[in-house]
């Protein structure tokens, strides 16, 4: 019985996908946590150096928004994707 190389490739990818997805997800969450901490430090430094709190908050929020998956999806034209605006509702920033 011969094995189809295409089927084998699909099965191999399918076998590794859960662990890859978990690794990527955990890496993203760690990166997001570090970014939130950095944004808080950034905000405090701005306020300490005389920037009005409202302006400092906007700048810190923009810093965090750079890591938003929703923003990335919108940037690459994913407005039709369900998680960007359909299924979970749209957010206005």
DSSP string across 54-69: HHHHHHHHHHHHTT-H
Task: Give Dmax over CA atoms of the chain in angstroms.
Answer: 75
Q: What is the pLDDT of residues 2-50, one digit of tens each?
A: 578 888 888 888 898 999 989 988 998 998 899 899 999 999 999 999 9
**Residue boundaries of the structural domains of the chain:** 5-86
Q: What is the pLDDT of residue 70?
A: 75
Global pTM value: 0.60
Roughly what angle, to the nearest 10 degrees, separates helices 5-48 and 53-65?
170
């Amino acid at each position: 019985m011969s094995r189809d190389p295409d089927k084998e490739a699909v099965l191999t990818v399918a076998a590794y996908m859960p662990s890859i997805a978990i690794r990527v997800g955990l890496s993203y969450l760690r990166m997001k946590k570090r970014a939130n901490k950095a944004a808080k430090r950034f905000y405090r430094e701005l306020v300490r150096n005389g920037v009005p709190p409202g302006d400092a908050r906007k700048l810190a929020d923009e810093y965090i928004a750079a890591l938003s998956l929703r923003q990335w999806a919108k940037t690459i034209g994913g407005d039709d994707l369900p998680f960007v605006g359909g299924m979970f509702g749209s957010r206005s920033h």
